[in-house]
Chains A and B, each alone.
Chain A
Amino acid sequence: METTQQTESKIIELKPFADEMVVNMGPQHPSTHGVLRLELKLDGEVVREAIPHIGYLHRCFEKHSENLSYPQIIPFTDRMDYVAAMNQNWGFCLAVEKLMETDESRNFEVPERAEYLRVLICELNRIASHLLSFGTYGMDIGAFTPFLYAFRDRERLLLLFEKVCGARLTYNYIRIGGVSEIIPMEPGSIAEQNFLDEIEAFLDYFEPLIDEYNDLLTKNSIFAERTTRVAVMSAEMALSYGATGPNLRGSGVDWDLRRDEPYSIYDRFDFDVPVAVDVPELGSVVGDCWSRYKIRMDEMKESVRIVRQILAEGLPSGPVMADLKAVRPPQGEIYFRSEAPRGELGFYIVSDGTPKPVRLKGRSPCFSALSALQELSRGLMVADIIAIIGSIDIVMGEVDR
């Protein structure tokens, strides 16, 4: 044991790679998805080590939450993963609702209509989030056009969100005990019908476009060359790093909280969970960048399926907000996780019975996925680093919180 340590230390002392070049990639760099800073140790184009430095977007979300009442925290969850803010709202609200359910005397039910609206909006939000991921990944790899196509389609979704909650990015729509009534939508009214028709029109427009995007980018041989067999994350590695969501499924682990631990009303819908398989035509193996990317493209189709089922059923009538006098969860603690577009979003809340939480912790899927970057990027090229960052699809707002 001692001898091996000695030999190792000798190797380090000798420094056989004298020509190592240290480059700072970020925090101001076109493709670090915000303000990620990577300290690259390069040997020519080959990356010897990539050390991610985070914290440039740290806004003290968790500490800040300790001084705010529960409804006031919801707008701050918007700012975590600002690309999929609806899902962040929902994750937090689910956790608080679960905590409040522990007290028998304060029991309440989230109305049926609110549950349907939540699933509807969050699945649309998932599409919007994956569209952004697709677009920026294309741009990272060097194709600019898919980026603008993705934004073109995302714009239509944002207009829908704007109509339902009045904001385009930071929605503050899903509330504890239901959804926001800031723009009232009477059950069975013309406004509701128009809204559902618009969603249907969007789905009809968007569904064929997924195949077009696959033609444009996914199956493109240059794109496939760039992303297949690059940064293969095995299932064990993904699990050990705590990668979740598309990153985990891209490594071939069949795990989706919506199906395996159904919350809300996800057990009523019929949808598949795409899991990566080897695609020998394009040279892709399970766990590479292409698999992770492809999971997102497939998930958009599944989200479309879920939304179509809701549209076929129609929204149930009734109130959208539970009859809650005040949000005062009982003393206790809770960890609740939900499936956000980027993976398992968990909230750990400690309550002492006051309207403000004693401690709030957000479990960020991006942070866990980003931690794998250092191991994934070793020995690859500079261009591959960009491909990895894009494929694990980080949002720095959520990593730093």
Chain B
Amino acid sequence: MLSIQELSASVGEKPILNGLSLTVPAGEVHAIMGPNGAGKSTLSYVLTGREGYEVTGGTATLDGVNLLSLVPEDRAAKGLFLSFQYPLEIPGVPALTFVRAALNAQRKARSEDELAAPAFLKLAREKAAALKIDFDMLKRPLNVGFSGGEKKRMEILQMAMLEPRFSILDETDSGLDIDALKIVAEGVNALRGPDRGMLVITHYQRLLDYIKPDRVSVLANGRIVATGGPELALELERSGYDRYAA
């Protein structure tokens, strides 16, 4: 599904990713852990095509499609989703309006019919209820004045509505208390399936108690330095990243 080979990228003049290779087959939830500054967020931005992140070598494909040659919206239409570490505020645009515009833009790009208002609203109500989001909140401008936890929940709601083939969750646990974390994790788990893949980027083991990864990789100095089963995360929790940092 997601295949990254020898990927290198820099921000400005500074190399951040140094020949990173990683494969996530369909159906797998893959956790990426690593110390601060290892390149975790850079990886998510390079994959989604943010400006200012220059790819200097290597490849990244999703279902065989070269992601790196596509503009961000085309990557989204191919089913790539990023849950942002710091979700943006969109003044004046109700959350519902935003999500519907996004959903229909993606459907259009895939030559599918647009979702009509009644069907869309039904879907939004269902998904919001599952994430314990008050439906009225979706009528407010997206993320404006929302708490950190509410913003993260809105990210997962968008993910649930857009049903991406491959999701990247960038530090989704930061800013969440334990109750919110459980709700968010349930939302994420509901999206697991044999056709989907996920990259769960986190600094701490805590999130992985609720979203159980199939495999865990350690990212340090811009490359994957170790890969293993869920036990690797527990080990990191005990011994820290020191032995990878050098």
- A, B from the same assembly: no
